[in-house]
Homo-oligomer: A and B are copies of this chain.
């Protein structure tokens, strides 16, 4: 416990996590928009979770923590804009697999270096050891905070 300072209340860890998360998200979405990929926040949150070999709607919904209905609508939008495509799931007749389409892969290819750049900026600000420690701590924290892990 750190001492309470009346003029500078320590924000809770949740808020501290939120700032860089939101910053990274904004940077990526801005870069995508400038390149002509108009993707909303909600769409992006689903899109980034589409696995290379395809994902089921139910899985995407669970990971993004929205209902199947919401995920279905978002996939509809992404499909209309050619970011993803739906194919039958060969292993389950009820399901369909959502996969990245060509345009979705283009967007992903554009987003990756932006993420890398931002992470590099963070590493510069924190120092390499601290950045490594941060990622290590977060990775271990995921074990108890990601219900899907």
Q: Which of B121, B130, B141, B146 contacts A137 (CB 8 A)?
A: B130
| Interface members, chain A 114-147 (any B CB < 8 Å) | 115, 119, 121-122, 125-126, 130-131, 133-146
How many angstroms between the C-alpha atoms of A105 and B6 in the bound complex?
18
Task: Write the nearest CB–CB distance from A55 to chain B, whole angstroms.
Answer: 10
Number of copies of this kind of chain in the complex: 2
Given contacts A14-B24, A25-B14, contact A140 B125 (CB under 8 A): yes
Task: Write the nearest CB–CB distance from A19 to chain B, whole angstroms.
Answer: 4
The size bracket of the interface on A is: 35 or more
A91 interface residue per 8 A CB criterion? no
How many angstroms between the C-alpha atoms of A103 and B125 in the bound complex?
41
Given contacts A15-B48, A137-B133, contact A20 B115 (CB under 8 A): no
